[in-house]
Amino acid sequence: MAGQASEYHRGDMDIHAQQATFKAVMTGSKWASLVVAVGILFFTLWFCTTAGFGGALVTAIVVAAIGGALLRSRPAPAH
């Protein structure tokens, strides 16, 4: 008995939409992780140490700036 003909052909599907969605989710995840980490750092230093509001704010801003510099998009390397 012969198998039924299938409309699916391996490797023929356009995956640009999936690639764009994956990139958007990864980008959003990394930036959201930085925001959460900076928020936790800020509130921990503010309420749980003697650093106070000012010390916590300065530290959070410094960490956010370093994290932002490290997480920013870089051009893809040319092969």
Residue 9 predicted with pLDDT over 80: no
Distances in whole angstroms, Cα of residue 5 to Cα of each of 2, 8, 9: 9, 9, 10
What confidence score (pLDDT) does residue 5 get? 67
8 Å CB contact between 67 and 37: yes
**Residue 3 has what pLDDT?**
60
Among the residue ranges 6-20, 22-36, 45-59, the one predicted with the least confidence is: 6-20
Mean pLDDT of the chain: 89
**Where does the pLDDT of residue 16 fall: very low under 50, low under 70, confident under 90, or very high at 90 and above?**
confident
Supply the pLDDT for residue 75.
79
